[in-house]
Structure formats: structure tokens, C-alpha cells
Chain A
């Protein structure tokens, strides 16, 4: 078990600097050697609604959040109302003392469903419907309360530094909050200043102002609050560690893999990737002139996939990034790419559907759709990444698969990953290889784009290649790519394309299809971002002498039936863990292995799984107290 396991929650209205506060905190903790797992939750809103960030800090590797919060810092009443009961009994709450009298009713961003639940709870405990009321409950549970009047703090800071501008600077609240927190946990302050400097490197005056405020709040906290039980003095720094955000795995992966064209339409939570690619559009290339990624914002997702395909036809590695609603619009063209054997990589950052669903929340609801997306039979690959680090290397694999097999590849990511901030081992670009498959550099003699070959894959020309003229059509075609409705040619072409599914299963190395994290009597099957919380939960169980296996299925289509079957041969109990309502992967498993799932652990609140709730549910299964279908619900 981690000797330090500390979770810090910062909350406030959207647009109030919650995210930048969390970035400073994460950076400081990472700078002094800790491992970080941070996750942002936010409403579909620009300004005003509640958002929060939980940063878990440890001196051991961590891959998930836990249920308990050790220290909460809030600038507003809503954060306290929503999260006071998550703070552990030996934890603490730093809050704005000017808020104590605020009533539940007066916070207009609290929705009625939540208000009613909270009021019922307070009523049963005989507490007033105010901040003071909920804090009393926390205090009775042993939570330490640290009231600070943010306004007075700013006023006295302004006075002390003879800088009256500071007095009204509400924007400084997040820096104050972070600094108060760091003071409370006795984090060395130098890294705080360093991190402020790096964040405001282009605005030295603002950096200076922030450092003054940080210093003041830090000292205020260390001198005034001395009874907090937790401290984070720093630990041995791991070498070659990066602090990375969710979208950076796939975007840097795309740069390294040679993706030079990305078309996209804005959608949460996928657009961050495209924006990052455009921000870094000029690329350094070893021993060559600079390269670049053409990032094109289109009028809709139909155009995004159309442009991507047009670009891919020139031999350019091309991609798009989207979420469920955008993917829905892309499906017709996806079939066109399948029909015309065009290699494309579609990064699918899932969120919680259907329709608009919970547009800023997490879900793994799109697996069935990704596999079945578009009409007609055609080969494609659906591949998933379990964490941000994996997503970097997997992006390289996805481009290779698409080139080698000349099929569209759908790379499954999700909101859990995209809004995480984690420390991980520095990406190693030398571990990515580039395999362009049968892409041609020159053509001699008569060329047939869809020539029948032994392995079913034809040498691929590209628009503009000398003598490489070909035709494409969404209709069935002959070897040249011209329309045909001949029944025999139709059969041969269907067989040619579909034979690829077997080839894919055969050629992709088994360890890239399925990753075994150990197999026992009782074994979990899962896919995608549940990996982190599952591994952390298994670690907790191991401490208690309980061993449960876990196989992570990365290749979801074509389904790696043989690998999965042989891995699970000796497992008696199969537990499927997924962030959707119906256990979508479990259904595919059952269909392919003709084997029942014994337990489902599912979550569809729109919030990611914590390791705590997986641990608790697995324990219930071990103790034979679980239902066949267990539903998780933690998180505000």
C-alpha cells in the first residue's frame, strides 16, 4: 500500500480558475517527486456551474481516484454542499469563512434533485440547511475545519505589500487556495514559486503578483493551522517522469507516427487533441526540413471524415478525433473508407450518450456502435487504450494497422482519459515503428488498385503518383475501381475485403490484442480506461491476500476470441467491468466465447470509477454477497 495516499479536491464555479489551481497543485506535487492522478469533472457550461478537480498524490504508482478526499479547498458554497461528505474523517476542509451563513436555497446552481437529497439528509441529522450545518456534520465525523476569510486575506495582503490592486482580485482565490493547502501539508514552498513562474513565464508581472499572494497565504496557513495530520514533504524524484494531460498521449502519438493531416469539428471531449496538434503544427524532423500537421477545422463531422479520407488517398497518414455524436455523422463515409480500403485513424473520445446524453461526462457506451457503425459488411479495427501512456504507443499501432490492412481503425478513448492529468514514464518515441504496408512509391506497368492478391491486400497507389491512376467508388467495383454489379465480382470483392478480419487476428501479435495482468480462479475482463481503477483495486485486495485476475482486451474488433479463450481456460468466475449500462463488451464476449459472464460491475452515472468502489464490489463478490449485476454510483 502507498505510504502516502492523499487526495486533494478543489472546487468552484466554472471559469473561476479551478483547473489552473489544480494544474499548479499537480505540478508542485510532481516536482517534489510524487506520483499524480488528477481528474476534472465539469458541467456542459462555460461559466458559473460547479466544476471540481480531484488530485490524488502518492509516493507509489497510482492509476485512479479513490472515494475519500483528504483535503478539500473551496472558494464557494456549492463545493462545500456537494463534497463535504466525501472528506475522510481524518481529513480537512479549507473554506471561505464568509460563506458560513449561506443557505442551500440561495445557491441557484444547485439543482433541485440534489437540494432535496441534501435537505433530507440535514433534516434527519437535525442540522440547519446552511454551510454551517453541513460543516458541523463533517466536524462531528472528525474532519478538521480551516476557516479563512479570503476577502480579508486579500485585504491584509494588499496592505502589507502596499499594493491596493490586490484587494479586489478575486481571480487570485485559486492561487490562495493552492498555497493555503500546500502550507497545511508542509510542502516546501520553492516548487510552488517555480511552478507559478513556469505557468506565467510570458507574464512576469503577473507571476510576481501571484508569488506574493502565494507566499502570504502559505505563511498564513503554516502559522495558523498546525493540527493537520497529513504532510507531503516531498519524496525521491523518479527520473524521466512527465506530467501529462489526457489528450496528449494520442496527439503526441500522432506527431511521432507521421500523421500529417487532421480534420475535425469541435466536440467535447475530443477537440483538445486537435487544438494541441494545431498549437504544435510545425514539427521538427531529424535530418530533414521542418514538417507540419495540417489541422483543418471543418463545418461538421461529415466534412471532417470526408477530408480525412481525401487526404489519406494522397498517401498522407490522416486522422480525425471526435466523440459519439460526431462519430454518428461519420458512419456513411466510414463505410466508404472500408469499401475503398483507405487507411484512416479515427480517435473516438467517448462520452456518455445517447443523443447529447451527458456531454461533459464519462461513459464507455459507444463500443457496440463503434463496431457496428455504418451499414453493410466491411472490415475495420476497433482498438482501445487503457491509460494515457498506453494511448501514445497505441496511436502508433493504430496507424500501422490501418496501413498494413488498409482498413479504417477506430481508436477508443474516453472522457475519463481525456480529463485526467497524470504522471507517467516519459513517452519513448523510439518504441513506435512505422509500417506503411503495401503503399507504393512507384508504379510500373498496368495498375489495378484492387488487384486480387494472395493475402487479399492490394498494392496501394496514391493521388499524384506517376502511372498510379486508380478509381474509387462507393459502389461495388472491379479491380480497377470501376463500378460493377456483376454477382461473381461482387462475391470476390466481398471475400477479398472481409478476409482481412482473419488476417488481422492472425497478424497482430497476441500481446497487442489482449494484455493479461494475471489470471486466477476469478478473473476480470474489461477494456479501456477502467484499467487504472481495476489495477489499483486489485492491489488493495492483494494486500489482504485476495488474488483476482484481470485481462484487458485491447483489440475489440475483430474480437480476439482465441487469445481470450486460452487465457481464461482455468478461470471459473468471470467478472465484466465496464462504464456502460448493458455490459456491451460482455455481450460480445458471450457471443464469441459462448460463455456466460458471472458478474457485471457497471457504472453509468457519467462519472469515472474509483478504485475504492471496484475494490468494495469485488470484495462483495469474493464474500459471495454480490448480485449478478452490481452498479457503482460514487461521485458528485
Chain B
């Protein structure tokens, strides 16, 4: 029986603030899972801590709400032990790029076949609006006592530098575009990263819905338009087509340069995509040929309570 969108929703009460950008992301994620027809019990949503951490409770698949900054570690462990699962990790920008930045970089190097979505709103909402790693230097959102003294992390740039093989940005109020990107990210064989720009209506009074919509620009330019534009509407080609180092270098550099564009024009869409890098599971298969057919979670380890692993060769080699 084909599953419908509502099958992917739980009845758990959602306590996000009215107008929160998180709603668009959880809706898009549910839509993507439904459209892809992914069986509910073959998918797991791992989440970090913060408003975005609650996402896993709203989706009717396996849902693992982990620790602040550590979501990628749990998610990778789950995926590697049971590679048949569709694994999506979600978390805030403070979670993933502040306390969890080390795991972000290390995950890129591994390229485990899963998807990581960052809910990027520039503030720590659940602790009342402190500056998060993506807030720009000198900006003062409303609950900051003084302007932000740190330079911002560039999530797209960090992802391409760390080895993520699918790097994209979306905007939480363009749900259809976001959903399509999530589907592409999940289908990608390797670690995909999605930086989702989202207003925090309660604490971020700078990057608001109106700001993304270009309301302030409209006043100046007398013509209403959005800051957001789609890379796919331009001639930007993010894909590495050949296993050629020069092409890889160019695509990486192009993604980095494009990621620096901010202000009156903000690109969304796919910045970089390289299907030619082996996912971690394949790297394991090089060492353990039957790893994918017989992964850790599928292995028989006992029969009637008696271990069936045969270590006699190892023990014989130690015998004197």
C-alpha cells in the first residue's frame, strides 16, 4: 500500500514558535520521504539539541533525538551498522557548526551515505537568542547585549573543504524547492549536506522573512524582489563530471566563491556535487568484501545462546 504524506506525521504536539522556519523544513522532509516511498521503518531521523532537535519526534519513522553537537556521530554509527537504512541527520547551526564543528569536518572526510540538514537561523533560539556561528560579525540581533564579535562560519565553504560530496543550500519558506533538494540529497550516494536558511521570528530580527523577501531593498529600489535566487536558473554547473583533478579543483573553487555571495543576492540550490568519490561503505567493502550483504546488524552471532564465531586460528597462533 502506497504511503501518504500523513503517514509520515506523528501526533506529537509541535511547540515551535508561530512562523518558525522549522515548519517548512519538517514539512519538506515528510513530503520528500513520502514522495520517495521510503518505508517508514527503513528510515531514521537523527536530530541534535535545540528547537530543530525536536524534528525527529514529528516524523513517523525511527527518530533518535541525540545530544548537542553530536548528531552526526550517532547517525554515522547507525548507518554503518545497518546500511539499508535511509539516514537523515538534522540540527541547528549552533549544534552542527559550533559545538559539533569537529564532527562536521570528520564526517565530510568519511563520506558516509546519508544526509545532513542544518537549520540555519543565526541564533541559539532555545537559550534565548545568543549569536550562533553563522551570524555575521558586527550584527546585533535583538537579544544580544552588544554586536557579535565573531566572524561567521561559511557552512557551504566548510562542507566543500571537508569532503562532503553533495553540498546545497535551500530556503525554508520555499518548501517545494527544499523538498526537491532533500530528495536529491537523499538519493546521492555519499554524504549530502543541506544548509537551510530559515528565519527565527522570535530572536533573529535581522534575517527575517521580509529581509529574505527583499522588503528593505524594495524601499530603496521601489521594486519588490527577493534576495534569494536559484543557482539552477543560472549557468552554474555544480557537478564534477570526470575523475579529473583539475575539474574537481575548479568545481570546489567555484562552490567556495559562490558561497561567499551574500547581501542583496543569496544563491540557493546545489553548489557542489561529486558522485565519483567512494562512500564510506564502499571503502569498508574494499577491506571486508561481504560487508554490505552481511553488515554488523545482520550478522548471526549465536545459535541457542552459544557463540558461533570461530577464533580457533587466532588461539592456535598464540599456543605454545
Contact = CB atoms under 8 A, between A and B. Distances in A.
Given A240-B319, A470-B63, 6 more contacts: A263-B77, A294-B80, A296-B80, A309-B77, A432-B307, A464-B84
14 contacts: A237-B320, A244-B318, A260-B299, A285-B308, A291-B294, A306-B77, A311-B77, A311-B80, A313-B64, A314-B85, A316-B297, A433-B305, A464-B62, A469-B40
B309 A256 contact: yes
Contacts of A445: none
Nearest to A276: B314
A426 B63 CA distance: 44
Nearest to A443: B41
B314 A280 contact: yes
Nearest to B293: A289
A235 to B, nearest CB: 12
B78 interface: yes
B102 A434 contact: no
B188 interface: no
B300 interface: yes
A30 B320 contact: yes
Nearest to B308: A286
Interface string A393-430: 00010000000000000000000000000010011011
Of residues B56, B72, B308, which shows the largest number of chain A Cβ atoms within 10 Å of its Cβ? B308
A248 interface: yes
Given A462-B297, A463-B44, A463-B85, A433 B306 contact: yes
Nearest to B280: A296
B41 A307 contact: no
A261 B81 contact: yes
Contacts of A472: 63-66
Given A241-B320, A286-B310, A310 B73 contact: yes
Interface string A331-347: 01100100000000000
A261 B77 contact: yes
A315 B307 contact: no
Nearest to A286: B308
A314 B63 contact: no
A292 B318 contact: no
Given A307-B73, A429-B307, A483 B301 contact: no
A632 to B, nearest CB: 32
Nearest to A287: B308
A464 B66 CA distance: 18
Contacts of A430: 306
Contact of B77 (A281, A310, A427, A482): A310
A99 interface: no
B77 A318 contact: yes
Nearest to A483: B57
Q: Which 10 A-B pairs have the closest CB atoms?
A: A310-B77, A306-B73, A258-B301, A307-B77, A299-B106, A311-B81, A260-B296, A434-B302, A473-B65, A310-B78
Given A281-B288, A299-B106, A426 B315 contact: yes
Given A242-B319, A255-B311, A464-B84, A294 B291 contact: yes
A243 B320 contact: yes
A466 interface: yes
Contacts of B40: 469
Contacts of A273: none
A51 to B, nearest CB: 23
A289 B290 contact: yes
Contacts of A31: 320
Contacts of B297: 260, 311, 314-316, 462-464
B310 A310 contact: no
B82 interface: yes
Interface string B273-293: 000000000001001101101
B306 A242 contact: no
Contact of A463 (B76, B82, B105, B307): B82
A317 interface: yes
A192 interface: no
Contacts of B294: 289-292
B49, B291, B300: residue with the most chain A Cβ atoms closer than 10 Å: B300
B85 A302 contact: no
Nearest to A245: B318
B108 to A, nearest CB: 11
A282 interface: yes
A169 interface: no
Given A30-B320, A244-B318, A466-B41, A258 B307 contact: yes
B65 A474 contact: yes
Among B73, B105, B295, B309, the most chain A Cβ lie within 10 Å of the Cβ of B309
A66 interface: no
Nearest to A468: B41
Contacts of A309: 74, 77
A305 B81 CA distance: 14
Contacts of A237: 320
A114 interface: no
Interface in A462-488: 462-475, 481-483
User: Considering residues A241, A289, A312, A463, which has the most beta carbons from chain B within 10 angstroms of its beta carbon?
Assistant: A463
Contacts of A287: 303, 308
Interface in B55-98: 56-57, 60-67, 70, 72-82, 84-85
Interface string B151-176: 00000000000000000000000000
Given A244-B318, A464-B82, A336 B67 contact: yes
A284 B302 CA distance: 13
A314 B299 CA distance: 11
A333 B70 contact: yes
Contacts of A283: 309-311
